Amino acid sequence: MRPSSSRARAGLGLGALTVLAAAGGATAADAQQAAPAPAAPAATAPAPAAPVLAQTAVDQPAKRSASLRVLSRKLNVRTGRTARVGGRLTPAAPGRTVTLERRGARGWKTIDKARTSRTGRFTLKYRTRAVDTAQVRVRFSGSRDVRGKSRRVGRLNVFRPALASWYGPGLFGNKLGCGGTLNAGTIGVAHKSLPCGTKLVLRKGSRIVRAKVIDRGPYVGAREFDLTQATKQRLGFGSTGTILVAH
């Protein structure tokens, strides 16, 4: 009977070990299930970007206004003589360029240049070569700190001498060669070949009259122009003689 009891105890022992092993396995499994999963490593936060300094535009200083003063002028000259314009540019600074410009059919054209002195003074000169009449101006084109400026200074008249006479009384009411009717107040001249409507500047002494070619003539002697009575009176002209003409 002992051997049977030993086998029984052995069987019980093996069964108990099996049960304990199973229990131990379950407990380990339960422990593994109950244990929290290891936390994932936290993502590394990006380093803060370095602050970007806003670039502030450098303010450009406001340009100052320029002033051009004409202090002297000589614009009525005979051919071959020199026309002059003197003035002052402010703000004053040495070496600034001022130009003398003539207005023609294609716009303004520079006919002389000068540089300012330290006080802003300048003198512009133009040696004339041919009969002319045109508007002229002085101009400063501007600099880094001063705005440009221009100023008209009058009309440049370059004269030549011409023989003239006059007509009118006894002819008032007659038709003019270029159209219209002659009367006591008509301003104009007669010329044999200049186109009708040609603009002229006439000078006698200190008097200057602007007129147009409105008639044909004169046909006597070497006289080139015939002045209407009203033109003669404005010029202070006599009966015949020399006048100065620009066109």
Q: Would you state the pLDDT for residue 81? A: 98
User: What digits encode the pLDDT tens for the residues 181-192?
Assistant: 999 999 999 999
User: If you average pLDDT over each of 16-25, 33-42, 94-103, which comes out highest?
Assistant: 94-103
Distance (Å, whole) CA 97 – CA 93? 10
Q: Which of 30-44, 81-95, 112-126 has the lowest mean pLDDT?
A: 30-44
| Per-residue confidence band for 48, with pLDDT thresholds at 50, 70 and 90 | low
The mean-pLDDT minimum among 48-57, 69-78, 110-119, 130-139 falls in 48-57
Contacts of 12 (CB under 8 A, 6+ apart): none
In the chain the domains, ranked by start, together with CATH numbers, are 67-158 (2.60.40.10), 160-246 (2.40.40.10)
Of 167, 165, 189, the C-alpha closest to 178 is 189
